[in-house]
Amino acid sequence: MKLAKILPITALRLGPTQFLAEVERLQREGRMPTLPELLDVIANVRAEFAPKILAARRSKKERGAR
């Protein structure tokens, strides 16, 4: 499940009060993900981006050493 399907992209830029209102709206609509669903999304994102981030860091380190 993609996070963007659960939360609109604007929800990712909200302050704490606005975010709480968004969470309450999702709960009312029955669209709030369960904890296992959320953790699954986080694990998938980490699996996708962690290798890319580490490769970029290694590349930057190698360029800086020259």
The one-digit pLDDT tens for each residue of the chain (66 residues) are: 555 565 555 546 778 888 889 889 999 999 998 999 989 999 999 999 999 999 999 998 888 765
| pLDDT value at residue 54 | 93
| pLDDT value at residue 46 | 92
User: Taking a C-beta distance cutoff of 8 angstroms, is the pair 41, 33 a contact?
Assistant: yes
| pLDDT value at residue 18 | 86
The torsion defined by the Cα of 30, 48, 13 and 10, in degrees rounded to 10, comes to -50
CA atoms of 12 and 5, how far apart (whole Å): 12
The phi, psi pair for 8, rounded to 5°, reads -65, 150
